[in-house]
């Protein structure tokens, strides 16, 4: 039987944004981004390696969205606050200065993710909680 009912589409996606505050310290804020928003990006790339930066403080190399496909991680910012990143949560890496953040895989041994670098003046459409 054919039906014309459509699955409900969420209006927003849960997001966490890494930011620079006070003297380039790294912090984060929780919020959301619109689900149907076009993002100003020219390319994306995937990565699975976890050995290169795990548990090593670093800033984001550029403003970018990080979409986790597989893995559960704990991120730590400058003051020691932490958050959990897992599939279904969009990370907006916007802490491009200072010591940055650390992360570690807390379930399994893999982090599959897609990076979507943002254009220099592109809006990240983040709405803070």
Per-residue pLDDT tens over the stretch 4-54: 455 556 799 999 999 999 989 999 999 999 998 888 888 898 988 877 778
Q: Is residue 4 part of a domain?
A: no
- Three-class DSSP labels, the chain: CCCCCCCCCCCEEEEEEEEEECCCEEEEEEEEEECCCCCCCCCCEEECCCCCCCCCCECCCCCEEEEEEEEEEEEECCCCCEEEECCCCEEEECCCCCCCEEEEEEEEEEEEEEEEECCCCCCCCCEEC
Q: Is residue 14 part of a domain?
A: no
CA-wise closest residue to 21 among 118, 73, 95: 95
Domain of residue 26: give its range.
22-128
For the whole model, what pTM was predicted? 0.89
Q: What is the largest CA-CA distance in the chain?
A: 62
Q: Is residue 10 part of a domain?
A: no
Per-residue pLDDT tens over the stretch 52-91: 778 899 999 999 999 999 999 999 999 999 999 999 999 9
- C-alpha 87/C-alpha 111 separation (Å) is 10
Q: Is residue 7 part of a domain?
A: no
Q: How many domains does the chain have?
A: 1
**Looking at residue 85, which CATH number applies to its domain?**
2.60.120.10
């Amino acid at each position: 039987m054919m039906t014309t009912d459509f699955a409900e589409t969420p209006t927003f996606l849960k997001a966490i944004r890494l930011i620079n505050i006070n003297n380039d310290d790294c912090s984060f804020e929780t919020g959301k981004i619109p689900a149907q928003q076009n993002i100003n990006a020219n390319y994306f790339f995937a990565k699975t390696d976890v050995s290169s930066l795990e548990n090593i403080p670093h800033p984001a190399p550029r403003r970018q969205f990080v979409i986790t496909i597989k893995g559960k991680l704990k991120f730590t910012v400058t003051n020691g606050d932490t958050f959990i990143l897992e599939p279904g949560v969009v990370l907006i890496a916007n802490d491009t200065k200072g010591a940055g953040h650390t992360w570690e895989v807390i379930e399994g041994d893999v982090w599959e993710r897609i990076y979507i670098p943002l254009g220099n003046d592109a809006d990240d459409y983040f709405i803070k909680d």
